[in-house]
Amino acid sequence: MGDNSEIFVGKCLIWRVGDPEIFPYIKKRRRDQKTRLNLEETWGRQSGKKSCILPTVMGNLLKVLCQADSSASRDYDIFVDFESVQPTDEEKEVWEKVQAVLNESQTILQDIQQYTGATEDIKQAISNPTNDAFQEKAWLAVCPLVARLKNYFEFANKLEHTVHDLLEVLCSIDKTPREHLETQQACFKQFAQILDFVLRFDDTKMINPSIQNDFSYYRRTLSRMKMANEVPISHDVKATDDNKGNENVVSNEMANRMSLFYAPATPMLKVLGEATTKFVSTHKELPVENTTDCLSTMANICRVMINTPEYVARFQNSETKLFCLRVMVGVIILYDHVHPVGAFAKSSNIDIKSCIRVLKEQEPGRVEGLLNALRYTTKTLNEETTPKAIKAMLAG
């Protein structure tokens, strides 16, 4: 068959069999027996040969398809040194700003993981509404806890600005997503650490009902005090106009804002998604694909790293592999929330089947939480655009 050979599929003229432009047409019609027969007949008329040559043509197509898949895999074949990478001179300014926020994130994470709540004091106060001693005890127990919740909320605002700074570095038009992530590994690691923090924080919040219950009780009590013109009990600081009572009591306005933050099951993920969407909308000079392709490349790089034994062998810390898995899942969830068609559609740039397969190949006890995150915190998994095979993989 010569280089200038032509094939007609339906009304579509496709040049050389080796031309990648044939893939969408052949793939779309490969299960259509009638089209295959037409193709065979057309090829027979053009070449003057018998139709037995069709298997050779299709074999060549499969060969080229496999080569294309291999090429795509090579695009993500990068080892990211999550354990010891250092910032380049180009990254250093942003890296130092982000690192300060990441250091604080560890304090925030440790604090919420140690959050025990005031469940018993609140129960006693609710059960004994006329007992002032119980009311005061519950209030004094809840106030410092609400101060901690305020601290988490304020940190979320810092995180939003930090994500913006990182995306400006990782999504600029001067490099491809691969080039960004390969040459700016320190910033890639920091974005990965933010995703890791977000998943851990939200997971802790979801399994601790005291967080929502304490804050709800505080808001109800504050509202009741306001209606009764009572002064909130202060045990540390004298009330001033600036601190709205004391450092352990937030204002009604702040409480309303905090309520919006804590209402979703995954508040930090919501902040991260909104920050990414805001970045896209405020940087109109950047194509949307710069951001979404960067995210999909992150997910695919993490998947390839986990699937490559020689890369895994280079990990010095046994937790690094789990870190890569969390980052992969975090990026999938974020991509699903910010991309117009989501992460699970056939047109998604994330190899979602391979990602799920990688998760299922791990020890079940270590990754069940990550599988549940894909099941319950993604946006489009249950949409009609999600293939049934993917839904089946994540079922149960």
223 — pLDDT class (breaks 50, 70, 90): confident
Tell me the C-alpha distance between 62 and 240, whole Å.
Answer: 75
Q: What mean pLDDT is predicted for residues 239-262?
A: 69
Q: What is the number of alpha carbons within 13 Å of residue 216 lying toward its C-beta?
A: 10
Tell me the C-alpha distance between 61 and 55, whole Å.
Answer: 10
Q: What mean pLDDT is predicted for residues 85-107?
A: 95
222 — pLDDT class (breaks 50, 70, 90): confident
Residue 267 phi, psi dihedral angles, 5° rounding:
-65, -40
pLDDT score at 39: 38
Q: Is the pLDDT of residue 218 over 70?
A: yes
> Is the pTM here over 0.75, yes or no?
yes
Tell me the C-alpha distance between 45 and 51, whole Å.
Answer: 9
pLDDT score at 396: 64
Tell me the C-alpha distance between 193 and 292, whole Å.
Answer: 18
pLDDT score at 74: 53
- Mean pLDDT lowest among 40-54, 119-133, 139-153, 216-230: 40-54
pLDDT above 70: percentage of residues in the chain:
76
Q: Which two tokens stand for residue 388?
A: 């049934």
Q: What mean pLDDT is predicted for residues 104-110?
A: 97
12 forms beta bridges with 9
Average pLDDT, the chain: 81
Q: What is the number of alpha carbons within 13 Å of residue 82 lying toward its C-beta?
A: 29
Greater model confidence, 366 or 380? 380
Tell me the C-alpha distance between 312 and 324, whole Å.
Answer: 10
pLDDT score at 226: 77
